[in-house]
Structure 1
Amino acid sequence: MPLSLLVVDDSALARKILINALPPDWDVEITQATNGVEALRLYHEGKASVMFLDLTMPEMDGFQVLAQLRQEGLDVFVVVVSADVQAGAIERAKALGAMAFIQKPVNPAKLVPVLKEYGLYE
């Protein structure tokens, strides 16, 4: 059974780059969202066991998504994918429940070790 994977970013190009960086043999069912509101709706529809989440988006940013997930006690493995690599942003994202943080642009050399570290990919 494939793992449900949600890629959340307002940039279609960023979503495409991330999806192309995923291991080709990883058994996942990918859904995409362009903002945090869509991400939460899709999560509630069962589309996100794992979520790759951008921080800077319209309507509802990644920090707000993390806070809402935490407030609702929802169970999802969140990897933040952002160009904002300031220590404060990383610390805040992890304090809100993000498991890992990957800098944009995503490439397999950065992504695969994170997936392996958390047992998401062998």
Structure 2
Amino acid sequence: MKVLIVEDSIFVQKMMSKLISDHIPDCEIRTATNGEDGFQLYQEYEPDLITTDLLMPGLGGQDMLRLIREKDQNVKIIILSADIQKATREEVEELGISGFLNKPLTAERANTLLQMIQVARYAE
């Protein structure tokens, strides 16, 4: 399974990469630090699953999600963001996400993220 992590915090990128690779060792993981790089990597890498923050410099996660959905309605996308406004969450849910987790990534949320990835993996 190919996973793309789009996150502006290098610390969170490394933490999520380690979490996923430790629990799902056959995942191939790539990372991007903003929406522009994330969209470009999405096109080149063709991941099965994307995790993305919403609030990033440059092209944010919502705009990247819109661009991806113009090309692909099927790729699984999990939002991991501190932006918990109801309107924001409703908007990204309308764009067809597989899940939404609030930051920070606690142990409980990390387990939920792993479960979401497993569900997406077996839905392929």
TM-score (ref. length: structure 2): 0.83
Change (3 A) 1:44 1:119: closer
Alignment of 1:48-87 (within 5 A): 48-73=47-72, 75-87=74-86
Q: CA deviation at 1:9?
A: 0.7
Q: CA deviation at 1:43?
A: 0.9
Check if 1:120 corresponds to 2:121: yes
Partner deviation per Cα, 1:59-110 (whole Å, 9 max, x = no partner): 1101101111112235411101101122222211111121111122223323
Q: Give the secondary-structure state (helix, strand or coil) at the position aligned to 1:60.
A: coil
Off by >4 Å, runs of 4+ in structure 1? none
TM-score (ref. length: structure 1): 0.84
% identical equivalent positions = 30
Unpaired runs of 5+ residues, structure 2, are none
How large is the RMSD of aligned CA atoms in angstroms?
1.9
Question: Across the two proteins, how many residue pairs are aligned to each other?
Answer: 118
Cα distance in structure 2, aligned partners of 1:74 and 1:39: 16
Q: Give the secondary-structure state (helix, strand or coil) at the position aligned to 1:120.
A: helix
Cα distance in structure 2, aligned partners of 1:104 and 1:21: 15
Is residue 50–residue 77 contact of structure 1 (8 Å, CA) maintained in 2?
Answer: yes
Q: CA deviation at 1:6?
A: 0.5
Change (3 A) 1:21 1:105: farther
Alignment of 1:1-122 (within 5 A): 3-22=1-20, 24-26=22-24, 27-73=26-72, 75-106=74-105, 107=107, 108-116=110-118, 118-120=119-121
Is residue 63–residue 96 contact of structure 1 (8 Å, CA) maintained in 2?
Answer: no
Cα distance in structure 2, aligned partners of 1:32 and 1:91: 26
Higher helix share: 2
Unpaired runs of 5+ residues, structure 1, are none
Q: CA deviation at 1:15?
A: 1.1
Cα distance in structure 1, aligned partners of 2:54 and 2:90: 13
